[in-house]
Amino acid sequence: MNRKLIIAIDGYSSCGKSTFARSIARELNYLYIDSGAMYRAVTLYCMRRLFFRGDLLNVPAVLSELENIHIDFVYNPDKTEYETFLNSENVEDEIRSIEVSKHVSRVSQVPEVRERMVELQRQIGASRGIVMDGRDIGTVVFPHADLKIFMTASVDIRARRRFDELRHRGTEVDFEEIKNNIIARDIADENRDISPLRRAEDALILDNSRMTVEEQMLWISKIIEKKKNDS
């Protein structure tokens, strides 16, 4: 029986989860959902509305606006990938900025924000045939996903990938600042009270520190084929 799957990919920041997930979705002709982009979009909304004062977040203000935050993923045929839209505005590039990265962990710690995002993610995944990546997809959003992957890589490798990505986008950044941001994100993700970053017991571990995307796809292809054909 060849059936559509729900594929959950979790792991640390800047592990290449999105690139890997996009490649899988493209190969299978599945819908790709970047759950991290959803939290980044909420963070961007909060920054624009001046809900931050330094590192302090005005949580009551966020909660009062939560119903006004609408996030969609729209396929861009020119880039052959889905892009993030915040209230009908394409914010794909803006949500990847270092400033958003600095604040996203604080926003994702708000229980009501996480509840709303999980609700939206489950709605999107109801029809199956999706690949979703994030921090708690296999443990919270889709605990019964057909296939779960937990990705990791060394801090230096992740910082270099993030540095190269931002430089490619034309953003001037400091390598050490990015590395420190990643370390801080790891600590925040692992220690937050709501949905901390954990590997699901049935998740396969993928350390891609020294793997290309092509090598990762070779690794996953046989696993997916077996899952698709399991009765």
Q: Is 230 contained in some domain?
A: no
* Residues β-bridged to residue 132: 8, 33
Per DSSP, helices labelled H in the chain are 17-28, 35-48, 59-65, 98-108, 111-125, 155-168, 175-191, 213-229
Averaged pLDDT for residues 96-102: 91
In a domain, 221, yes or no: no
Amino acid 2: pLDDT: 65
Q: Is residue 100 part of a domain?
A: yes
Q: Tell me: the pLDDT tens digits for 64-84?
A: 999 999 998 888 899 888 899
Instruction: Let me know if residue 188 belongs to a domain.
Output: yes
pTM: 0.80
Number of domains in the chain: 1
For residue 218, how far is the Cα from the chain centroid? 22
Task: With cut-offs at 50, 70 and 90, classify the pLDDT of residue 205.
Answer: very high
Tell whether 224 is covered by a domain.
Answer: no
Taking CA atoms, 146 is separated from 131, 165, 211, 218, 224, in Å, by 11, 31, 24, 19, 9
Asked if residue 1 belongs to a domain, the reply is no
Rounded Cα gap, residues 196 and 136, in angstroms: 7
- Amino acid in position 183: I
Q: Which domain holds residue 120?
A: 6-216
Does residue 205 form part of some domain?
yes
Q: What is the pLDDT of residues 113-170, one digit of tens each?
A: 999 999 888 888 887 889 999 888 999 999 999 999 999 999 999 999 989 988 888 8
pLDDT tens across 11-47, in order? 998 898 988 999 999 999 898 888 889 999 999 999 9
Report the CATH number at residue 72: 3.40.50.300
User: 86 lies in a domain?
Assistant: yes
